[in-house]
Amino acid sequence: HQQRHKSGGCRGDQPGDRRDGQEDGGHDSRHARGKQAHGGVGGKKVPHHQGFTAVISGAVQRDNLLYSGQKFTPVQSAKNTRMLVKEILHNGTEPVFSLEFFPPKKQEEWDKLFETISNLSPLDPSYVSVTYGAGGSTRERTHNLVTRIQQETGITVVSHLTCIGAEKSEIESVLQLYRQHGITNVLALRGDKPADIATLEEAIKDFPHAIDLVKFIKANFPEMGVGVAGFPEGHPETPNRMKELEYLKEKVDAGADYIVTQLFFDNRDYFDYVERCELAGITVPIIPGIMPVMTKKGMIRMGELALGSRIPSKLLRQVLEAADDKEVAEIGIEWATRQVQELIEHKVKGIHFYTLNLSEATLKIFENLKRG
- Supply the residues annotated as catalytic: 100
- Distance from C-alpha of 247 to C-alpha of 98, rounded to nearest angstrom: 26
Alpha-carbon span 250 to 52, nearest angstrom: 32
User: Beta strand 8-9 with 127-130: parallel, antiparallel or unpaired?
Assistant: unpaired
DSSP string over 174-236: HHHHHHHTT--EEEEE--PPPTTSS-HHHH-SS-SSHHHHHHHHHHH-TT-EEEEEE-TT--T
Query: What kind and span of H or E run contains 127?
Result: strand 127-130
Residue 281 has phi, psi (to 5 degrees) of: 90, 15
Between CA 345 and CA 366 the distance in angstroms is 15
Whole-angstrom Cα distance, residue 12 to residue 96?
24
